[in-house]
Amino acid sequence: MINWTTPFKGIKYGKWYSNLIAKAKLRGWTKKSAPIAVERHHIVPRSCGGSNIKENLVFLSLREHYVAHALLWKMKFDGVNNMKMVHAFNVMNITRSSKQSKINSRLFEQVKLERIAHLKTLRGTLSKSYGKKYPPRSEETRAKIREMWASPGFKEVMSIKHKEFMQTEKGMQLRKATSERQKGTTRSKEAIEKTAAAKRGKTWEELYTTEQIARMTLANRNKVYTEKGKLAQIENSRKVGQRPKSENFKKMVSKRMTGIKRETMICQHCGIECVRANHTRWHGDNCKLNISR
């Protein structure tokens, strides 16, 4: 029994569709165990409230998959869901035609005409964003949204809600899918330069709030690196240190360090007094005058 949340008029076609799905479920085919080519099908279409859970998925033969979408279209769902079924069946026809499969010409003509008629009703009512998830917003709606985001405390509340959502199972799946989609992709030079230009020449205090700096500092202290990660960091630091520094950069560093008293150490081999970082790198056990080296 299929739990439909969206009503439809074609009861006869609904029964045929239920029988087709029941037969496929009883058969229990998978992509690997099926003796013929099969395709995965959502029993309740996602546009009608269906999900990707295992109970809502079934493997159908190519012919059965085509028939299933034809029946979904013939079931005549209420409202915009009927147009979604028309679109899905239209795509199915195009796909099958490209593979030179036999298509019922009358069905193909009927679904095409119905889709064209629906598109004509939308002409002039929607902009180029037709087909996207949301229609374009009016100026009044945009003004309300800007006012809402400008209200005090709203950003903090939305930030907390976003963090809570990202900790849920759905949020974790979304984050994983985004990570997989971005693997291997590189940002354009223009985007990198735009981000760098906004930060160039500014201190942390100018870029971030006191609370943000405290959080980043705490996060850096609690980071745990693998041996491979430590070696990569050392190599990156070495490359950065070897880059030629501009005069503006030298002046900026000098200005930042003016008035700051750092801890110094005296090398036991050459007697030179220097700051701890230079002592660790150039003196002590690494000193040129160290005979035991």
Please report whether residue 41 resides in a domain: yes
Angle at 158 (CA atoms; ends 156, 159), nearest 5 degrees: 60
Distance CA(216)–CA(208), nearest Å, equals 10
Distance CA(152)–CA(149), nearest Å, equals 8
Number of folded domains that form the chain = 2
Please report whether residue 237 resides in a domain: no
How high is the pLDDT of residue 127? 46
What does the pLDDT average to over 139-155? Answer: 87
Asked which of 102, 122, 142 is the last residue of a domain, the reply is 122
What does the pLDDT average to over 135-162? Answer: 85
Q: Are 89 and 68 in contact (CB under 8 A)?
A: no
- Kindly report the number of other CB atoms within 10 A of residue 50's CB atom: 18
Report how far apart, in Å, the C-alpha atoms of 193 and of each of 38, 188, 293 are. 48, 9, 45
Rg (CA), the chain: 32
**What tokens does 168 get?**
């849920």
Asked which of 70, 98, 122 is the last residue of a domain, the reply is 122
Query: What count of residues does the chain have?
Result: 293
Please report whether residue 51 resides in a domain: yes
How high is the pLDDT of residue 94? 66
Please report whether residue 109 resides in a domain: yes
Distance CA(159)–CA(178), nearest Å, equals 19
Instruction: Give 77 or 117, the one with higher predicted confidence.
Output: 77
The answer, yes or no, to whether residue 4 has pLDDT greater than 50, is yes
How high is the pLDDT of residue 243? 84
Instruction: Give 122 or 29, the one with higher predicted confidence.
Output: 29
Q: At what angle do helices 11-27 and 62-74 cross, to 10 degrees?
A: 150
Distance CA(268)–CA(265), nearest Å, equals 9
Q: Which residue type occupies 47? A: S
How high is the pLDDT of residue 57? 92
- As a whole-number percent, the residues of the chain with pLDDT over 90 amount to 14
Please report whether residue 95 resides in a domain: yes
**Mean of pLDDT over the chain:** 83
Q: Are 94 and 115 in contact (CB under 8 A)?
A: no
Q: Are 101 and 117 in contact (CB under 8 A)?
A: no
Asked which of 96, 122, 148 is the last residue of a domain, the reply is 122
Nearest to 1 by CA among 27, 23, 29, 22: 22
What does the pLDDT average to over 248-266? Answer: 84
Instruction: Give 63 or 44, the one with higher predicted confidence.
Output: 44
**What tokens does 127 get?**
């902009």
Distance CA(231)–CA(112), nearest Å, equals 61
Please report whether residue 69 resides in a domain: yes
| Residues paired with 265 in a beta bridge | 274
Please report whether residue 57 resides in a domain: yes
For residue 276, the enclosing domain spans 261-293
Please, which contacts does 100-107 make with residues 24 or more away whose CB atoms are closer than 8 Å? 101/62, 101/66, 107/70
Please report whether residue 25 resides in a domain: yes
